[in-house]
Amino acid sequence: MSLTIIGTVAFDSVKTPYGEVDKVIGGAATFAGWAASYLYQHIQLVSIIGNDWPEAEMKKMTSRGIDVSGIEIVKGGKSFYWKGEYDKNMIDRTTLATDLNVLDDFDPKLPEHYKKSEYLMLGNLTPEIQQQVIGQMTKKPKLIVMDTMNFWIDIARDALIDTIRKVDVLSINDEEARLLSGEYNLLRAADRILEYGLQYLIIKKGEHGALLFSKDDMFFAPALPLAEITDPTGAGDSFAGGMMGYLASQGDVSFEHMKMSLIYGAAMGSFCVEDYSIKKLQSLTPEMIKTRVKDLIELSKINIEA
Amino acid sequence: MSLTIIGTVAFDSVKTPYGEVDKVIGGAATFAGWAASYLYQHIQLVSIIGNDWPEAEMKKMTSRGIDVSGIEIVKGGKSFYWKGEYDKNMIDRTTLATDLNVLDDFDPKLPEHYKKSEYLMLGNLTPEIQQQVIGQMTKKPKLIVMDTMNFWIDIARDALIDTIRKVDVLSINDEEARLLSGEYNLLRAADRILEYGLQYLIIKKGEHGALLFSKDDMFFAPALPLAEITDPTGAGDSFAGGMMGYLASQGDVSFEHMKMSLIYGAAMGSFCVEDYSIKKLQSLTPEMIKTRVKDLIELSKINIEA
């Protein structure tokens, strides 16, 4: 049993109205891998980096049991770099730089022992790369979850829909759901998107929580209101990591377990934003996670009869 | 035991991207009264109207057991009128007309049998009128809940805060909470606002649900995602009515009952928006409400162990 996560391993520079950091550890697979690592032990990353990405950080992942043999290191290459600035609402952001660097030539080759992973998380990459990874699996995974972004909906719609048809779960935000479906209303958007043959659809609403849809069911996972948000970068990826880590640990993808996976996702996302980069994610304890998950369940729990 | 609701009884003209209605029944007390009437039997309204407001609608309320003896009818006067247009998101709206008419001279005089109400809902009116009503109570109510709006926060801040100090619960939306507290973050805004001596604070986030705060506790009531929203007008007032009706029916204002009251509020708000004016609120059955409340509780309910 294993969980394979494909996505960026990168550097971020982040500015908020309250502070800034320059060229810190970032990347979807980094956040997702760290978040998942508290919930499940057999995590395998697929990515590409330059040899500018700190070896010490690779070692920290390895020492947590994260398999990094699927991360290609390009000698003399530079790692993917993103720079952005957040609005005072800590949601809206302006991208100031996106340097693809080695990511421009990313042609993922899964190590042999990755190819039978039961759980596969396809981070936001080109639909072609996502499909290429699916194509390398020698055994049909129990659950394939994919992320994407408005950019691919705009410029590679057909390839994207083709990829969606090959996965079990699509995880997108509300604006992407609207863009993809052409429906403003999220319930109708969900109906449309599920028609691509998805088992589940997750619509993330940031600080407003996340919705889970199957053909017959709907669930809403609240986000925990936080007094301090230091850096929202990576929250969605931490959400995905928490979700996948929980599911892989349970070996059960029923609707009830999917619901709980969103709670674990929300918990890991809420930790992520409490500090810059992966700092908070690197300093969690099982007790902290247990308490956060309990707080999230309690947040909307009714204890008396209607 | 009784529930007294003070607020507007009015006419609305509403335009949305999907349709429009002209001079239909509206007003905060109308929506709140109808919503509460399904949950509690001893409802007393306080308002002012012109004799242009249809007698048939007064009779409908009376026949539901709503006491309208506190509604002053000004002969030859015109009822309060609001005209607005909604954006395609069905949230943002532009006010096209606000004709105060008889509301301009509103000087509420509570009928004697209203003055010992255990539950008092102060709809959005001037802070002075809200205080005047509190001053007329001959017995301290079990729970006084007040609504307000950004307008009063802007132009009558001191009088408003003075009023808040005299009530148990303030119910406002997220933008109003930010404006009132000077804090963007809602947790910190809640801390500040609770310092005015409130027992509970409710922060409504529209389609994103509502938060309930006490000094030590927090609860989040989700809003039910709906496939069709016909007219958002009155949703907040229906929320307030559902909440107050439930609380009065239980005679219990503990945090657990407050939590459930938000669910009833969300249920009544969700019905309200399914049709124009009070049309949907006039055609509910106890069974429909029970189902909606159950759906809302199920929406965020976790059934397995963390």
pLDDT per residue as tens digits for the range B232-280: 999 999 999 999 999 999 999 999 999 999 999 999 999 999 999 999 9
How big is the A-B interface in CB pairs under 8 Å? 89
Q: What is the mean pLDDT of chain B?
A: 97
Q: Which residue has the tokens 């429906």?
A: A183
* pLDDT reading at A306 higher than 90: no
What is d(CA A131, CA B221) in angstroms, rounded to the nearest whole number? 39
Q: Which of B184, B227, B304 sits opposite A188 (nearest CB)?
A: B227
Among partner residues A184, A294, A302, which is closest to B263 by beta-carbon distance? A302
Looking at residue B306, its pLDDT comes to: 79
Report the amino acid identity of residue B66.
I
pLDDT score of B94 more than 90: yes
Summarised one tens digit per residue, pLDDT across range B147-201 is 999 999 999 999 999 999 999 999 999 999 999 999 999 999 999 999 999 999 9
Structure confidence by residue, pLDDT tens digits, A202-261: 999 999 999 999 999 999 999 999 999 999 999 999 999 999 999 999 999 999 999 999
Tell me the Ramachandran region of residue A209: left when phi exceeds 0, alpha when psi lies from -120 to 50, beta otherwise.
Answer: left
Identify the burial level of A155 via C-beta atoms within 10 angstroms of its C-beta, where 0-12 means exposed, 13-18 middle and 19 or more buried.
Answer: exposed
Select the residue of A89, A220, A257 nearest B222 (Cβ to Cβ).
Answer: A220
Mean pLDDT of all residues in B105-109: 96
A-chain residues near B303 (CB < 8 A): 256, 259
Query: How close does chain A come to B306, measured CA to CA in Å?
Result: 7
Tell which of A220, A290, A292, A296 to mutate to test the B interface (max B CBs under 10 Å): A220
Looking at CA atoms only, how far is residue B192 from chain A in angstroms?
12
Residue-wise pLDDT for A15-66, tens only, equals 999 999 999 999 999 999 999 999 999 999 999 999 999 999 999 999 999 9
Q: What is the mean pLDDT of residues B33-47?
A: 98
**CA separation for the pair B41, A19 (Å, rounded):** 55
Query: Which of A88, A187, A225 lies nearest to residue B227, judging by beta carbons?
Result: A187
Cα–Cα dist B61/B44, whole Å: 10
CA distance B302 to chain A (A): 7
Judged against a pLDDT cut of 90, whether residue A117 lies above it is answered with yes
Nearest-angstrom CA–CA distance, B71 and A97: 62
Interface test with chain A among B302, B304, B305, by most A beta carbons within 10 Å: B302
The answer, yes or no, to whether residue A305 has pLDDT greater than 90, is no
Which of B89, B216, B300, B301 to mutate: most A Cβ within 10 Å? Answer: B300
* Nearest CA distance, B40 vs chain A (angstrom): 14
pLDDT of residue A1: 87
Rounded Cα distance between B204 and B242, Å, is 14
The one-character DSSP state at B91 is S
- Residue B305: band (very low, low, confident or very high) from pLDDT cuts 50, 70, 90: confident
Considering only alpha carbons, which residue of chain A is nearest residue B87? A184
Q: What is the three-class DSSP state of B142?
A: coil
Q: What average pLDDT does range A274-296 have in this prediction?
A: 98
> CA nearest B218 in A: which residue?
A299
Q: Which residues of B touch A188 (CB under 8 A)?
A: 227
Instruction: With CA atoms as reference, report the closest residue to B48 among B11, B103, B115.
Output: B103
Supply φ then ψ for residue A147, to 5 degrees. Answer: -110, 160
The residue type found at B72 is E
Confidence (pLDDT) at B189: 98
Spatial separation of the C-alpha atoms in residues B243 and B234, rounded to whole Å: 14
> Which residues have a Cβ under 8 Å from the Cβ of A171 and sit 6 or more positions away?
A145, A146, A147, A202, A204, A240, A243
Residues of B in contact with A229 (CB under 8 A): 185
For chain A, list residues whose CB is within 8 angstroms of any CB belonging to chain B: 88-89, 184-188, 205, 208-209, 211, 218-222, 225-229, 256-257, 259-260, 263, 290, 293-294, 297, 299-304, 306
Task: Provide the pLDDT for residue A20.
Answer: 97
Give one DSSP letter per residue of chain A, joined into a string.
--EEEE---EEEEEEETTEEEEEEEE-HHHHHHHHHHTT-S-EEEEEEEETTS-HHHHHHHHHTT-EEEEEEEETT---EEEEEEE-TTSS-EEEEEEE-GGGGG------GGGTT-SEEEE-SS-HHHHHHHHHH-SS--SEEEEE--HHHHHH-HHHHHHHHTT-SEEEEEHHHHHHHHS-SSHHHHHHHHHTTT-SEEEEE-GGG-EEEE-SS-EEEEPPPP-S--S--TTHHHHHHHHHHHHHHHHT--SHHHHHHHHHHHHHHHHHHTTSSTTTTGGG--HHHHHHHHHHHHHHT---S--
Q: What is the pLDDT of residues B109-150, one digit of tens each?
A: 999 999 999 999 999 999 999 999 999 999 999 999 999 999
Q: Give B304's contacts in chain A (Cβ within 8 Å).
A: 256-257, 260
Pair of tokens at residue B159? 């009088």
Task: Read off φ and ψ for residue B182, nearest 5 degrees.
Answer: 75, 10
| Domains of chain B, first to last | 3-299 (3.40.1190.20)
Mind telling me how many Å the CA of B105 is from chain A's nearest CA? 40
How many degrees, rounded to 5, is the angle at CA A234 between CA A230 and CA A238? 110
Distance CA B127, CA B164 (A): 9
Q: Decide if B227 and A290 are in contact by the 8 Å CB cutoff.
A: no
Report the pLDDT averaged over residues B44-60.
98
Q: Which residues from chain B sit within 8 angstroms of residue A226, using beta carbons?
A: 185, 187
Query: What is the model's pLDDT at position B1?
Result: 87
By Cβ distance, the residue of A205, A227, A259 closest to B302 is: A259
Question: How far apart (Å, rounded) are the C-alpha atoms in residues B286 and B276?
Answer: 21
User: What does the H/E/C string look like for B236-278?
Assistant: HHHHHHHHHHHHHHHCCCCHHHHHHHHHHHHHHHHHHCCCCCC
Distance from CA of A52 to the nearest CA of B (A): 37
**Is A94 buried (19+), middle (13-18) or exposed (0-12) by CB count in 10 A?**
exposed
Quick count: other Cβ atoms within 10 Å of Cβ B92? Answer: 10
Q: What's residue A242's pLDDT?
A: 98
Tokens matching residue B206: 């529209």
- A185–B300 CB contact, under 8 Å: no
Choose among B89, B186, B304: nearest Cβ to A256: B304
Distances from the Cα of A3 to the Cαs of A132, A136, A138, A143, in angstroms?
17, 15, 15, 10
Candidates A24, A30, A23; CA nearest to A8 is: A30
